[in-house]
Amino acid sequence: MNNKEQFDFYVKNGLLKQEFDVNRVDILANKILECLYKPTVRKGLFTLDWARIKRLKIDATEPINWGDLSATVEKNEGRYIITIEEASPGECPTLCEYVEKYLTAWGWPVIVQTEW
């Protein structure tokens, strides 16, 4: 279940509680970041998928700690504030646009920001 429409349907029908919305957006934001990596043959290791990063039009020169990306989510006035940890504040617009693009397309009203 990725989109807000499905989530709202489950809430309306008593299958989920509305309070789970922040948790759902958190999971989705982190999954979107995980898509930038690919597994290696070494057990438990992942490496950046540079071809995918380029294809998604993320500027690889943005000041990002690629080894420790994660997202946290807070809700404020009906919008979800996503903070991508380990990326320079205000200096990673293409990374923010990438996350925002998918969550917005799935119906989640988001604002994406970065912080160290």
pLDDT, average across residues 11-21:
94
Helix (H) or strand (E) holding 109: none
pLDDT, average across residues 2-17:
93
The count of structural domains within the chain is 1
Cα–Cα distance for residue pair 25/14, rounded to 1 Å: 19
Give the model confidence (pLDDT) of 62-77 as tens digits. 999 998 899 999 999 9
Q: How far apart are the first and last CA of the chain?
A: 30
pLDDT at 2: 77
| pTM reported for the whole predicted model | 0.91
pLDDT at 1: 66
Q: Which residues contact 86 (CB under 8 A, 6 or more apart)?
A: 64, 65, 67, 68, 69, 70, 116
Mean pLDDT computed over every residue of the chain: 94
**Residue 68 sits in which domain range?**
4-115
